[in-house]
């Protein structure tokens, strides 16, 4: 009986190792494919859900990514990053702040990090394939190695055919679940660097708070 249990455990460990390798190879392909793109742009959906608190929020936004530069427009706010300075424009109050962000903060906010977040501090677990909106999707769990994270895991969904990112969802320890779903994606279209800098001349009535 003990021998059967031992063999079962060994098979499970071996299978888990294979699945982890499969998950990493899929994620590595996603990262390489995304890095090869000169630009990415489109629309996304942001969802925040906390069932115990009866919170259900959904917003749609737009994004443009060019290397480390990015632009995001969602929930009444526009965020620009030109590779050095971060511009945060709050439309309701006609106010924009400009700052030289701390590297940790900028790394966390950078949209391109969605494609590489798995590379540091996570175990990878291949969950399986599902059909979603008529498409075959890889489902991979990213499990944080550090216990001080405020979420249990991140669920990554990747299109089997295109290897494009479909969505990422963090499962919060306090019940806050956040999902970012890519609705549309256009690659390698020409984008001027001016798209990543807040244009003060186009918004003469906006208060500028320069913290650089």
| Residue 104 covered by a domain | no
* Residue 103, pLDDT score: 53
Question: Do 51 and 60 form a contact (C-beta atoms < 8 A)?
Answer: no
Structural domains counted in the chain: 1
Lowest mean pLDDT, pick from 27-41, 99-113, 140-154, 182-196:
99-113
Contact 57, 50 (CB under 8 A): no
Domain holding 51, by residue range, is: 2-68+110-190
- What is the residue-wise DSSP string for 98-122? EE---HHHHHHH-GGGGGTGGGSSE
In a domain, 54, yes or no: yes
Closest by CA to 124, choosing from 46, 48, 22, 41, is 22
Judge whether residue 193 has pLDDT over 80: yes
| Domain membership flag for residue 158 | yes
What's the pTM value of the predicted model, to 2 decimals? 0.82
**Does residue 179 fall inside a structural domain?**
yes
Residue 196 lies in a domain: no
% of the chain residues with pLDDT over 90? 64
pLDDT at 1: 47
**Residue 128 lies inside a defined structural domain of this protein:** yes
pLDDT at 5: 43
Is 31 domain-assigned? yes
- What rounded mean pLDDT belongs to the chain? 85
Encode pLDDT of 88-131 as tens digits.
999 999 999 999 887 544 444 578 788 888 888 898 899 989 99
CATH of the domain at 120: 2.50.20.10
> Is residue 89 one of the residues assigned to a domain?
no
For residue 64, is pLDDT > 90?
A: yes
């Amino acid at each position: 009986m003990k021998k059967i249990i031992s063999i079962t455990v060994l098979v499970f460990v071996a299978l888990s190792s294979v699945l982890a390798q499969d998950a990493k190879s899929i994620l590595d392909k996603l990262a390489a494919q995304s890095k090869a793109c000169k630009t990415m742009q489109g629309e996304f959906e942001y969802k925040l859900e906390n069932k115990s608190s009866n919170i259900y929020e959904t917003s749609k936004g737009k994004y443009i990514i060019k290397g480390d530069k990015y632009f995001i427009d969602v929930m009444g706010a526009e965020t620009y990053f030109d590779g050095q300075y971060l511009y945060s424009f709050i439309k309701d109050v006609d106010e924009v702040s400009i700052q030289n962000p701390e590297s940790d903060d900028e790394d966390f906010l950078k949209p391109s990090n969605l494609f590489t977040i798995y590379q540091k501090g996570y175990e990878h677990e291949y969950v399986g394939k599902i059909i979603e909106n008529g498409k075959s999707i890889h489902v991979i769990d990213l499990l944080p190695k550090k216990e001080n994270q405020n979420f249990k895991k991140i669920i990554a969904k990747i299109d089997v055919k295109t290897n494009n990112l479909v969505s990422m969802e963090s499962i919060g320890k306090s019940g806050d679940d956040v999902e970012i779903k890519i609705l549309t994606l256009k690659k390698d279209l020409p984008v001027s660097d001016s798209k990543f800098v807040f244009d003060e001349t186009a918004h003469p009535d906006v208060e500028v708070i320069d913290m650089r």
